[in-house]
Every structure is written in C-alpha cells, then in structure tokens.
Structure 1
Amino acid sequence: MAKIINKNAEFLHEIKKSKFYAYSFYVENLQQIQQYLKETNLEHINASHLVYAYKIGSNLQKYFDAKEPKGSAGLPIFSLINQQNLDKILIIVVRYFGGSKLGLGPLSKAYKDATKNVLEISCINEKISSFSYTILVKNEDIKRLDSWLNANFCRFKTKKINDFCNAIIECQENIEKPYFALNWTKLN
C-alpha cells in the first residue's frame, strides 16, 4: 500500500561547506508542485541548484537534476520516493555550493542523505481513506484553524481568503465541526 507524508518538513544537511536544504511537501496536483517550486526558488534565489523529484500516482512522476551531473541528484531523491512507496509527494533539495567539488559519489550521497533526513521528520503513514469538508471561518480564526487541522490530522486542499477564509480540507477521519466554523459541509 502506498504511503503519504502527514506534514511538510525541512532539513538542512551540510557537507564540505555545501548546504543542502531539503523540503518535503504533500501534493495532489501539478499546480501545487509548480507553486511549491516557485516559492522555494524565490526563497533561495541565490542557490546553486534546485533539485526535485515528485510522484502523484503512476502517471505523474518526474525528477530533475538542475545542472548537477546526470543522475546524481534528482534520481537518488526519486529512488527514495519509490523505495519507501511514497505517493502525493514533492521533495526539493536546494544546494548552495560550498567552494569544493564533492565528486559524483559523495554528491549523490549528500542528496540522498538530505532526502532521508527530511523524510524522517515528515511523519510517513499508510495512505488511508479520507473525508473532505468545506469550511468557512473568520480571517481572525485562520491560526486557530491551522492548529485545529494539525491536531486532527487534516490538511488544506484549497484555501481562499477574502472577507472570510473559505477552504476545502481533507481529514483522515470523519470528524465533528470545529466550534469556530461558520459553515461546515461534508463533501464525501
């Protein structure tokens, strides 16, 4: 059975003054992948390389070496995704060159180690049935909603913020409406 991560995470791995910032993201579609890549690229505008791999089901999967030697960066990340039977996942590893070349073997190992470490703190679980809800809350309750989502193993699928926060959330269990919700509808 496929597994998913329950929380996005980040980890810093250093080797010979090169810094490898590893990020794990739960994703459900290509738009989310593109958004996380864009945000990470903007956050690390001066990075030497932005390497990634993702997998959503069997049809949407890819890895990218970002001008590192072919197969030395994205492939080790993608291999770990497959070895751990992960789904709905994007791993990004951002490298800041430390001044000395690592060599092909140590370079691949650095990307693999950064990925292993970020996955260890990403709370990997078996993929189970989920329930989707629409929820409407006041904007001042968004932080409360974030805390509630984390405590109840739920996540945002979509979120629109105007006068109110209107979101679709996904939960692992059939749960009760939070007391601060203005509107709450079960979708499935």
Structure 2
Amino acid sequence: MPEIKALCIYCGASQNVDPRHLETADQLGRTAAEKAIDLVYGGGHSGMMGAAADGALSAGGRVIGIIPEHLKDREAAHNGVTEMVVVDSMHVRKQKMFERSDAFCVLPGGLGTLDETFEIITWKQLGLHDKPIVLLNLHGFWDPLMDMIRRQVEGGYLHNDPGSLFSLADDVEGVFSAIASAADSRVTPDSSRL
C-alpha cells in the first residue's frame, strides 16, 4: 500500500456549529497524529479547522497550515501549528494543500469547503491525480450533496461512478479505513498537468 504521510482536511472555520462536529474534528486530528500522519489544513484557529489542528497537536502530531495573506486575520491564523505557510492567493493555497497531501478528508463546512471539495474531486475526475478523497458524513451532513450527485448521474451530466472518485464515511475510523482501501488500489497519474 502506498504510505499516507499527510492528510489534507477541508472544513469550516465557523464556531457556531454543532458541538459534535467540533468533537469529531478534534478526534480526526488526534487519530491522524496517533497514526503518524501529518495534518494539512487551511491554517485557521477557529471552528472545525482549529479543533482538528488542536487535536493533532495535543497528540504530538505535525500540523501544516496553509493560509493566504488576506485571511491571516479574518480566519485568525493558528499560531501553534508546526509549520505555517502564508501564500498570495486562494488558488495558491489550494495548490499547496494538494502538493503537501497524500489524501483528503472533507468535513462539514460552508462555501469555501464546497469550493475545495469540488475542485479536488474534479481534478480526480479529469485524471490529474488519484489520491484518496473521503467525505466525513457526520449525522448525514453530506446527504443532500449525494442526492444532487444522483440527479446529475440520472440526468446524464455525470458519467463517472461517484464511488470511483470519493468515498463516504460516517465516523473517524471509517475515514482512515476508506483512505487505506483507496490507497491500496491507486495509480500515479501525471499531476504536472494541474
């Protein structure tokens, strides 16, 4: 199995969310650290971003934050991470997060999380990478998205089997099981086309 050394997470920075989601983000960070997997994320200190980073750090893990200059104050950059990379734009942020990661986990979030999610899934659909992608479907959060994807398939707008692009997991252990399963079968496409 190709070794997963760094996991990128996409998630929200809002504090006004389901406390169970914050607890799960913390657990995800801790579990990654316990498995000696670096956590790569958007660099924020609040919401699920901060909870995941704090969880990983509290378990002795490495955390790499990647944040655009214009969001350092707005998203309150986390000062305690192992490495903070400040970039010029959102585009560079997403590219750097991709380059530094071997797999992706999407937790609940807002429009920014959707943007990151659709881009990384689309890159995989286009054959630009074959890294595992897992949506952590906490309490059915991603069910409406799955309904929309089914409508796209039924309407002929989506020809790939969504199961070939990403996996769903209901809990943290499911995330790491799905990543291991996907990593076992992955190939290495030409990511220089990104």
Higher relative contact order (CA 8 A, sep 6+): 1
Query: Normalising to structure 1: TM-score of the pair?
Result: 0.28
Higher helix share: 2
Q: More strand by proportion, 1 or 2?
A: 1
TM-score by length of 2: 0.27
